[in-house]
Chain A
Amino acid sequence: MNHALRRVSLVVLGMFLLLLINVNYVQAFEPPFLAAQQDNARVFAQQFQYQRGSILTADNKTIAESVHVKQGIYSYQRHYPDPQVYAPVTGYNSLYSNTGIEQTEDKYLSGTAPQLTVHNLIDLVTGKPKRGASVQLTINSAAQQAAYNALKATGLPSGVVAIQPSTGAILALASYPTFNPNKYATFDGAQLNRIDSAYRNDPRQPLLNRAIEETFPPGSTFKIVTSSTAFATGNYNPDTRVYAPTNLKLPGTTHQLINYDNLPCNDGTNPTGNGKVPLIYAFTVSCNTVFGNLGMHLGDNALRAQANKFGMNDPNLTIPLPVAQSNYPPIPNNDPALTAYSAIGQYNDTVTALQEAMFSAAIANNGNLMAPYMVQRVIAPDLTPLVTAQQTSMGQAVSPTMAAQVARMMVSVVQQPYGTAHLAVTSMTNYTVAAKTGTAQNGANNTGLDDAVFTCYAPVNNPQIAIGVIVKGGGLGADASAPVAVKILQAYLSSLAKR
């Protein structure tokens, strides 16, 4: 029987070899696949067992941190010191999912990024607990706080973004109404689900990031693009006299394009309401008829090409939060009437608040549009920098000459007593500001409340901040949105002065 026994031994050896090979496969090769599974509770729970990295503003204010607690299996709980102010930036970090910077920078914050492998290994060997890397943002706490307060003061759904024109660094990014990410930091799964569904079912949509995730009609702020398109032809400058009817007849329709409150476009040289005014005057008082007519002459394709140069129609923009595409879609059959509406930002063109800021930022930076970004650097637990942001250009939106021409018109909007932003801006700040207001009609047959849109930069001679504001249902851009922008630039520029 020993012969058979030796064979059985070989079979047994084979069985154990199979087991050993299989566990080697499962534990040495399969872990990345297993960890990537959606429902792997261990991976989610694990991140609360060690200290996740903090999120800091550019001026070193902590806006998200892991606090040591002892709740069952969890050792660290996420805490947001100013939850609502920074919610659109940080997002939340819950048991099951992340949003915002918590999501996009998760591999650094959680310490799983490849660059951190050596740090983790050293910590393991030296017996230090594992920690995630910190993420420092470009956000300025003064600007961000002012932004949130100003939006909250409007009481309306609204979003704002502020950019440093020379770098693309995002100085503020706020949305209202917003949510409290601390509520997502609970370890109670049932409670978490209740909170999440309450936020999701809230008609005010607090989880929606109105600075970058929702688009609105740009209204008259789009006249920056229309003017730029005109200057690019070489046939126009701010002093070119352009046709300025009181009512613009739209070809192929019975509609007539009119100005705000059906006013004539008259600087004193156009008493008949059928003559011409300088382009800069039309821009300053925001004559729809002038720009509608101009748009029809320039054509849909030229307008869209210029819009693209300002960053519109880009589905892949990330800051690193994904940004909704600002649209300037092709107009069916190049219809001139619809082109006229598009040229004043009232047809299918829609923009994010970030896009509004990018209009001004490009003009402020001599036409060079810097790619907006929010993560300045990633700092390893031992304080060595891991990643530092690289500033990149998205290209010349307009030539420096054209930028200066548009800038001159935007300054005029604020400085001329008849400019649409004159009162709103000069009454509130001593900083020199260049701006464009917009009042976008809304809803079916324009029965909805107008959206207030505003884009600006300051100071004029040395631009430090460019801002885009959208207040849904805010009425006139100058009334609802301009004060928001001014409060932000006031807060930011005075914080620079103190430094």
Chain B
Amino acid sequence: MSAVATPGEPAGTGQLAAARPDATGSMVPMPRGRRQTELAMLAFAVGVVLFAYANVGLGLNGHIPAGLVTYGIGFAALVGIAHLAVRRLAPWADPLLLPLAALLNGLGLVMIYRLQQSGRNGNPGNVIYGMTSSTATFQLIWTALGIVGFVAVLALISEPRVLQRYTYTLGAVGLGLLALPALLPARFSEVPGTGAKIQVAVGGFSFQPEEFAKLALAVFFAGYLVAKRDVLALAGRRVLGIDLPRARDLGPVLIAWAASLLVLVFESDIGTSALFFGLFVVMLYVATQRTSWLLIGGALFLAGALIAAKLFAHVGERFTIWLHPFSGTNPSHAAYQLVQGLYGLGYGGVLGTGLGHGQPYWTPLVQSDFIITAFGEELGLTGLMAILLIYGLIVERGLRAAVAVRDPFSKLLAAGLSFTVALQVFVIVGGVTRLIPLTGITTPFLSQGGSSLVASWMLIALLMRISDTARRPAPQPIQEEGMTQVVRGR
């Protein structure tokens, strides 16, 4: 995939080699930052989004939406600002991440606009539950705030290692954010109708702290594991050809496990719980290279899930819904949402109904947790696979940055951030398509909701910062010889 996008680019740290002086002592050209490529692909992404927007209008009302021009200019300006910031602040960053994120964000905006236009059960007079008549506008404002977050991260964090200093501070912030909804009374923290306590709502404004906790905790895990990885990698007993860690080193993984279970119990949020635990275990594995951590983590997760399924009715029900969505009264009651989403996917089939021609409005929460089924319905299997591949590309570019960067902290952070994207997509897309039991978490960039969008943009900014560090040419000596070399930064 990457070979197509950036032809001829040397893998890994090859850029550094390309910048070495050749035999004659003259300098070869600096490796290109590929900002032009990024701009071209951004233009393409904006084009696709505007085409989709026009499509929605044609599909719903038979004419192009009146706001196409202003909307187009607004969206293009936002991603343009992001692009200019990258040119200035991270000129060596991976050129694919920004266009991919912009494309997903734009498609999400289009779908939310489309759902707002059709209304609940297809009646434009009734708004879909959880939306208002200005949700699409708000989502555009959130996009702008997301871009602000993106630029701010690039501007404030000039080197990924800067974050390492704040390892424990961010750890505390992350845990605080995660625990906040559980500590607040339900009227402030419960998402209406779901029973999940995952937000902080004051007045008409709500935000989901877990989205930001995810970023803070990824930094914390990276910093902590870089410091402790040598100890954690020490082998204990060897069982069945696997080196088990020493019993006394099990502490951190057990704490993470317990914390994720607490999130599950007190916030009724299975998806987030799985996400954080998965993030920790994979980062632990990358830091120590010990497969045993993956096995221990997996076993703990399965045990936790099974115990929770037995102990808590709402967790057990998820399994029942997953296994038997069509039996008895499930389709009209417990499994209604899942079944409606599947009906939508089935209705779309291979080629989809076309934007504005489907009936995604039957599915509850189609604008957030189930937005992927709306895409599956209207863009078909074809479009859904394309969206999954876009996510796959984002993860792949993130992991590539992790491989390329030399500093272990940045490496771990990039790996963790990339993996959260993969895991989040797996959990929510797998959930709504009945691959795994359904747990409600946001679909990065697509779902309605500001916190997720801003946090996703900040995540992309962090990945781009790390890839910028990885791809930046080595400092050039100012003079060729001498006792002391004066080096110039970038």
A residues with CB within 8 A of B? 1-6, 8-9, 11-13, 15-16, 18-20, 22-24, 26-28, 30-31, 33-35, 37, 39-43, 45-46, 49, 72-73
Q: A34–B399 contact, CB under 8 A? A: no
Distance A13 CA – B392 CA, assembled complex (angstroms): 8
Q: B332–A39 contact, CB under 8 A? A: yes
Give chain B residues whose Cβ lies under 8 Å from the Cβ of A35: 346-347
Give chain A residues whose Cβ lies under 8 Å from the Cβ of B201: none
13 contacting pairs across A/B (C-beta < 8 A): A8-B286, A12-B392, A12-B396, A18-B426, A18-B435, A23-B381, A23-B433, A26-B342, A27-B345, A31-B346, A35-B346, A35-B347, A39-B339
Supply 18 further A-B pairs (C-beta < 8 A) apart from A1-B411, A4-B285, A16-B389: A15-B426, A16-B426, A18-B430, A18-B435, A19-B425, A23-B384, A26-B376, A27-B346, A27-B348, A31-B349, A37-B326, A39-B331, A41-B359, A42-B359, A46-B347, A46-B359, A49-B357, A72-B123
Q: B359–A34 contact, CB under 8 A? A: no
Give chain A residues whose Cβ lies under 8 Å from the Cβ of B385: 20, 23-24
Give chain A residues whose Cβ lies under 8 Å from the Cβ of B433: 19, 22-23, 26
Q: Which single member of A5, A11, A18, A26 contacts B434 (CB below 8 Å)?
A: A26
Q: Which single member of B288, B289, B358, B388 contacts A20 (CB below 8 Å)?
A: B388
Q: A34–B346 contact, CB under 8 A? A: yes
B387-430 vs A, Cβ < 8 Å mask (1 yes, 0 no): 01101100110010011000010011001001100110110011
Give chain A residues whose Cβ lies under 8 Å from the Cβ of B451: none
Give chain A residues whose Cβ lies under 8 Å from the Cβ of B287: 1, 4
Distance A73 CA – B114 CA, assembled complex (angstroms): 13
Distance A23 CA – B342 CA, assembled complex (angstroms): 10
B322-351 vs A, Cβ < 8 Å mask (1 yes, 0 no): 000010000110000001101111111110
Q: B381–A4 contact, CB under 8 A? A: no
Q: A5–B395 contact, CB under 8 A? A: no
Q: A5–B415 contact, CB under 8 A? A: yes
Interface set, chain B 291-343, CB cutoff 8 A to A: 326, 331-332, 339-340, 342-343
Total interface residues on B, CB under 8 Å, equals: 60
Label chain B's interface by main secondary structure.
helix
Of A5, A28, A46, chain B has the most CB atoms within 10 Å of the CB of A5
Give chain A residues whose Cβ lies under 8 Å from the Cβ of B348: 27
Q: B347–A8 contact, CB under 8 A? A: no
B residues with CB within 8 A of A? 118-119, 121-124, 282, 285-289, 326, 331-332, 339-340, 342-350, 357-359, 361-362, 376, 380-381, 384-385, 388-389, 391-392, 395-396, 399, 402-403, 408, 411-412, 415, 418-419, 422-423, 425-426, 429-430, 433-435
Q: A1–B286 contact, CB under 8 A? A: yes
With both beta carbons as reference points, the residue of chain A lying nearest to B359 in the complex is identified as: A42
Give chain B residues whose Cβ lies under 8 Å from the Cβ of A22: 430, 433-435
Ordered nearest first, which 3 A-B pairs have the shortest CB separation? A34-B346, A73-B122, A27-B381
Task: Assess A19 versus B124: contact at CB under 8 Å? Given A12-B422, A40-B343.
Answer: no
Task: Assess A16 versus B422: contact at CB under 8 Å? Given A22-B435, A31-B349.
Answer: yes
Task: Assess A34 versus B343: contact at CB under 8 Å? Given A16-B391, A23-B381.
Answer: yes
Give chain A residues whose Cβ lies under 8 Å from the Cβ of B345: 23, 26-27, 30, 34
Task: Assess A8 versus B434: contact at CB under 8 Å? Given A27-B376, A31-B347, A72-B124.
Answer: no
Q: A37–B343 contact, CB under 8 A? A: yes
Give chain B residues whose Cβ lies under 8 Å from the Cβ of A11: 282
Distance A30 CA – B326 CA, assembled complex (angstroms): 13
Of B124, B288, B326, B332, chain A has the most CB atoms within 10 Å of the CB of B326
Shortest Cβ distance from residue A262 to the other chain B in the assembled complex, whole angstroms: 61
Task: Assess A3 versus B289: contact at CB under 8 Å? Given A19-B429, A27-B384.
Answer: yes
Distance A27 CA – B423 CA, assembled complex (angstroms): 22
Distance A283 CA – B282 CA, assembled complex (angstroms): 95
Shortest Cβ distance from residue B325 to the other chain A in the assembled complex, whole angstroms: 10
Shortest Cβ distance from residue B230 to the other chain A in the assembled complex, whole angstroms: 12
Distance A425 CA – B418 CA, assembled complex (angstroms): 90
Shortest Cβ distance from residue A5 to the other chain B in the assembled complex, whole angstroms: 5
Q: B346–A26 contact, CB under 8 A? A: yes
Give chain A residues whose Cβ lies under 8 Å from the Cβ of B332: 39
Shortest Cβ distance from residue A74 to the other chain B in the assembled complex, whole angstroms: 8
With both beta carbons as reference points, the residue of chain A lying nearest to B430 in the complex is identified as: A19
Distance A28 CA – B348 CA, assembled complex (angstroms): 9
Give chain A residues whose Cβ lies under 8 Å from the Cβ of B119: 72
Shortest Cβ distance from residue B114 to the other chain A in the assembled complex, whole angstroms: 13
Distance A37 CA – B330 CA, assembled complex (angstroms): 12
With both beta carbons as reference points, the residue of chain B lying nearest to A27 in the complex is identified as: B381
Q: B124–A28 contact, CB under 8 A? A: no
Distance A18 CA – B388 CA, assembled complex (angstroms): 11
Shortest Cβ distance from residue B346 to the other chain A in the assembled complex, whole angstroms: 3
With both beta carbons as reference points, the residue of chain A lying nearest to B380 in the complex is identified as: A27
Shortest Cβ distance from residue B222 to the other chain A in the assembled complex, whole angstroms: 11
Give chain B residues whose Cβ lies under 8 Å from the Cβ of A13: 392
Q: Which single member of B408, B419, B423, B429 contacts A1 (CB below 8 Å)?
A: B408
Shortest Cβ distance from residue B36 to the other chain A in the assembled complex, whole angstroms: 28
Q: A5–B286 contact, CB under 8 A? A: yes
Of A6, A28, A40, chain B has the most CB atoms within 10 Å of the CB of A40
Distance A42 CA – B378 CA, assembled complex (angstroms): 13
Give chain A residues whose Cβ lies under 8 Å from the Cβ of B403: 2, 5-6
Shortest Cβ distance from residue A277 to the other chain B in the assembled complex, whole angstroms: 67
Give chain B residues whose Cβ lies under 8 Å from the Cβ of A15: 422-423, 426
Distance A4 CA – B291 CA, assembled complex (angstroms): 9
Q: Which single member of B122, B376, B402, B425 contacts A23 (CB below 8 Å)?
A: B376
With both beta carbons as reference points, the residue of chain B lying nearest to A21 in the complex is identified as: B435
Q: B388–A16 contact, CB under 8 A? A: yes
Task: Assess A1 versus B435: contact at CB under 8 Å? Given A6-B403, A27-B349, A73-B122.
Answer: no
Shortest Cβ distance from residue B121 to the other chain A in the assembled complex, whole angstroms: 8
Q: A5–B346 contact, CB under 8 A? A: no
Q: B422–A1 contact, CB under 8 A? A: no
Task: Assess A73 versus B118: contact at CB under 8 Å? Given A4-B289, A39-B332.
Answer: yes
Shortest Cβ distance from residue B380 to the other chain A in the assembled complex, whole angstroms: 7
